Amino acid sequence: MSSTTSVDVMALAGELAQERMKPEWSTFSLELNEEQRELQAWVHDFAEKTIRPAGAEWDEKEEFPWPIVKEAAEIGLYGLDGTLSMFIDPTGLLTPIFLEEIFWGDAGIGMALQGTGLAVSAIFGQGTPEQINEWLPRCYGSASDPQVAAFCSSEPNAGSDVSNIRTTAKYDEATDEWVINGSKSWATNGGIADVHVVIATVDPTLGSRGHAAFVVPKSEIKGISQGAKVKKHGIRASHTADVNLDDARVPGRYLLGGKDKLDARLAKAREGKTSRGNASMATFEASRPAVGAMALGVARAAYDYALDYAKEREQFGRKIIENQAIAFKLANMKTELDAARLLVWRASWMGAGTLRGAPHKFENAEGSMAKYKASEVGVKVTEEAIQILGGNGYTREYPVERFHRDSKIMTIFEGTSEIQQLVIARTISGVRVP
């Protein structure tokens, strides 16, 4: 017979329990705090009562919903104060919570309310304190006269391949001005904004390392104009257009970060040394979990509608949700939604590490994971919602076809799903996968 040593299991468990009552053992929680819950309820109420009822109308019009933006500005849902409140958030969760609820209401109107965020992220992330103070208020305007801003990076031949940007910025030392020439494509708020943040190359030989970001206010600078407005498959309430720059002379102080910083970065690049990245990708990396939250909002709207429909719709003498084929679809939709949300929240929490005094390095491209997974889930869930509604789902009498159209862009802008996979693969392997 084998001998065993007697162990007081309950005493050992008690000691562990006592040890793990310390604060460091109780910091992980998936429960939202009071401020987060209040924001969620407030935004959802606006989305449900104001955005959702107007979604189909503005989708059909394909016009920018200025009345709704103004209403959001008047109650504080659109503007600098609200944006700063979400930026300065040690949990990182206020932004994805806000975006999920807004996009649950309608993605086109949601993008109209959120499109300014890319330009704001570029200024906030790359500008000097003086530039931040000068330009961020102008991006939003006031409650009585709201404004929008535009981030101009993509070009006809430079979408995912930002190294192929051909818009140039040449410094005129005699006047301390940058002369910008080129054309931008797919600019959210392009042309209807005053503040445009334009990515241009100052040294084409350096590829993406030779890029810089400039503030180009349309009200001050001659040579910037709106080109063709894009007629889109989805998010039609959001204004998307080409932006043309023809000898646009921009004061030297409108270069984000300043010339000394740019010169130092260019010198480093010319010596073959690595840098933190280029002007476009720095902005996109910060915004990718946010795009994931947008996709979640659209997907959740489709799931909610399909679930309610399945509980009411009768075929062959019973509710269609009583069929496994439908019930299992909904079970998978909900599971995928919740899994994607966890990835978005993780990346958002990691991104806010600096505010907690503990910066997190994205060692496995967690931001790209969040955007990739959530955007693909958005397309799949909205497609399944159409399938659950059958023929009704394919008509404009029901909103799920619009949800599906709106969801697709999430797999494309700010880095396609293929680019996200490439980023993840390179990061986890350490190999520059071609």
What domains, with CATH codes, occur in the chain? 34-140 (1.10.540.10), 149-270 (2.40.110.10), 279-429 (1.20.140.10)
Q: Are 151 and 198 in contact (CB under 8 A)?
A: no
Which tens digit of pLDDT belongs to each residue from 94-151? Answer: 999 999 999 999 999 999 999 999 999 999 989 999 999 999 999 999 999 999 999 9
Which tens digit of pLDDT belongs to each residue from 155-178? Answer: 998 877 777 899 999 999 999 999
* Active-site residue flag, 134: no
**How confident is the model at residue 275, as a pLDDT?**
55
Which tens digit of pLDDT belongs to each residue from 388-409? Answer: 999 999 999 999 999 999 999 9
Q: Which amino acid belongs to residue 220?
A: E
Q: Other C-beta atoms within 10 Å of 60: how many?
A: 12
Catalytic residue among 71, 100, 101, 414: 414
Between these two residues, 357 and 197, which has the higher pLDDT value? 197
Please spell the DSSP secondary structure of 36-56, one letter per residue.
HHHHHHHHHHHIIIIIHHHHH
Residues forming beta bridges with residue 19, ordered by sequence position: none
Pairing of strands 314-315, 177-188: unpaired
Cα 275 to Cα 8: distance, rounded to the nearest angstrom? 57
Collapsed DSSP state (helix, strand, coil) of residue 47: helix
**How confident is the model at residue 213, as a pLDDT?**
97
Cα 387 to Cα 393: distance, rounded to the nearest angstrom? 7
